Chain A
Amino acid sequence: MEIQSYTMNFGPQHPAAHGVLRLVLEMEGETVLRADPHVGLLHRATEKLAESKPFNQSIGYMDRLDYVSMMCNEHAYVRAIEALMGIEAPVRAQYIRTMFDEITRILNHLMWVGTNGLDLGAMAMFLYAFREREELMDCYEAVSGARMHATYYRPGGVYRDLPDAMPRYRESPWHKGKDVKRLNAWREGSLLDYLTAFTDDFPKRVDEYETLLTDNRIWKQRTVGIGVVSPELALAWGMTGPMLRGSGIAWDLRKKQPYAMYDRVDFDIPVGVNGDCYDRYLVRIEEMRQSNRIIRQCVDWLRANPGPVMLDNYKVAPPSRTEMKDDMEALIHHFKLFTEGYSVPAGEVYSAVEAPKGEFAAYLVSDGANKPFRLKLRAPGFAHLSSMDAVVRGHMLSDVVAMIGTYDVVFGEIDR
């Protein structure tokens, strides 16, 4: 008897499926004949939920879409609201946003390089990446109080200014004496001091990752020439971000359609040549170095230029607590803002940002109410994953894992 082909279920509980991807693979031996990704297992109807609440109350949902690049998602949504209302955040807030977008990009790429390494057999990479991730998570925590789901960006600016002090480690049964001193070495000053120390240190850390992977024989065997995406294919399938740049197209919204303060900072766009998994790896590694440069420039600017971080417009931003104590108007504004919210002029807008995974966008339709009429969130991973079948046909099963990794899929954004 001869078996022609068989169907195999990959996921949704497989660790290399990066969340809840169910992949139905039609196999002939070890070769993939057809791949049919089933998504939606994490569908929470974020867009529908957003239709039922005032604009500001949905910012927190944005963090939970692509839950490894939280603030970039917020940025797209907040910019859409700002565009419809015709308001603009103060310059300092824009710099803070630029800085945190780049911190987020490093966070995302670290997560990516760690888990993709893990998928392809490089355990150590994961441990290295999470060391730095934790340091940057502390920045999230310092500004918003939350390590991940920050809800830090608001229409009209950011929630509050950067803190003057970083939280410090205390003596504990696990950390004592010299150990605590080492952990607190960067934390003596403000958040900006902490980030200065980080940006000085980070390029060396990226070098460490590269010694682990870039010339690693096994890593190259698993990635070079695997999952080749031609530039034509990348365009036709709506790919953006590192997937598009890995195929040699120098397209980056931060350069081509600059938002926030990206036209005032200096950075380069890395571009791949062959469009395989290895090139996309190199692109992402270089993006981390570039993000580090941007963060440093923002830190220097923010240090020299104090100022407001939120619009002085009580119809959009809440008044300060002290003002509310003795100003009736301020109290009314506060009450109206947190109960009814604000009405956004009727119209529609598509606001895209260069999220770490590609073009993340919010298409917002307002009918003049205090809630969105329709909010569509364009997730880069959704478009990328849809090309799965076209890309992995003829590859081996183990290459499917490499491909899922290189897509950088996160189901929070794909399933929404």
Chain B
Amino acid sequence: MTDANSDGLAGRLQAHFGARLLGLAEARGETTIELAPGDWASAGRELRDAFGFEQLVDLCGVDYLGYGEGEWDVADVSAEGFSRGVEGIAGPGRFRWEDRPAAATAPRRYAVVAHLLSVSRNQRLRIRCFAPDDALPVVPSLCEVWPGVNWFEREAFDLYGVVFEGHPDLRRILTDYGFIGHPFRKDFPLIGNVEVRYDPEKGRVVYEPVTSVEPRVGVPRVVRDDARFETARAESVARRAAGD
């Protein structure tokens, strides 16, 4: 992947898309571009036809809610313990949408990220598109361009509730028949909302609010700026210079 993108793909993308390119980043040998929802489908077609990206290998939703935020103030943990995780609705992953953590750095909450692969040119490209409306995220479908994206979009719809406009068959795919909610959203609790058991009196399977498990955080989420990887990076460069 590192040397595959070295033939100036970024430059060609910049020249081709111009102002339609909302963002372009190159990191770790990977190229990422950001597109507006309005350009999503047409740009996909151009990327396939003009840039040789015959394959869309992966598409997924991302929920940027709470990006870059630690779960606790680590300073007073020893005094209070990790109680926050077990106190009902207030715990991480147990907040309501109104009580969501504020000041997320991402411009919007839901993004759709796709990875393209050009078999003929041996290149990869990541394309991203933020849905304009957090309440009802809508992004155009790419099914017309790459038929193989069908199930990936169904999955993103199922797990994140992103609606793909123009998708021929937008049904849930991974969750249960009749499932309510979109489980991979950051405000959907890890333990779920309902649990299932067989009720011998009613003679059928019943859905009830979760009681058998408690929300719990084993290890707190800690965001740290870590200088030690700089050391590791320098060491690995030195090792490579020394010839393994």
Contacts and interface: CB of A to CB of B under 8 A. Distances in A.
Given A350-B126, A376-B58, A238 B30 contact: no
A370 interface: yes
Given A236-B146, A350-B126, A368-B223, A313 B232 contact: yes
Given A238-B149, A415-B174, A49 B222 contact: no
Given A235-B55, A347-B27, A378-B115, A52 B223 contact: no
Contacts of A342: 226
B55 A48 contact: no
B218 A53 contact: yes
Given A52-B217, A346-B68, A361-B58, A370 B222 contact: yes
Contacts, number: 167
A49 B190 contact: yes
Contact of A383 (B1, B148, B174): B148
Contacts of B244: 91
Nearest to B244: A91
Contact of B147 (A236, A365, A370): A236
Nearest to A87: B232
Interface in B70-102: 70, 93
B221 A315 contact: no
Of the four ranges (under 10, 10 to 19, 20 to 34, 35 or more), the interface on chain B belongs to 35 or more
Contacts of A370: 219, 221-222, 224
A135 interface: no
Interface string B121-155: 01010100000000000000000001111111001
Interface in A27-62: 39-40, 43, 45, 47-49, 52-54, 57
A109 B74 CA distance: 48
A86 B232 contact: yes
B6 interface: no
Given A315-B228, A347-B28, 15 more contacts: A45-B183, A48-B183, A85-B229, A236-B146, A316-B232, A342-B226, A346-B68, A350-B115, A350-B126, A368-B224, A371-B221, A382-B151, A383-B57, A383-B148, A387-B147
Interface of B: 1, 4, 27-28, 30, 32, 54-58, 60, 62-63, 67-70, 93, 113, 115, 117, 119, 122, 124, 126, 146-152, 155, 172-176, 183-184, 190, 217-226, 228-229, 231-233, 235-236, 239-240, 244
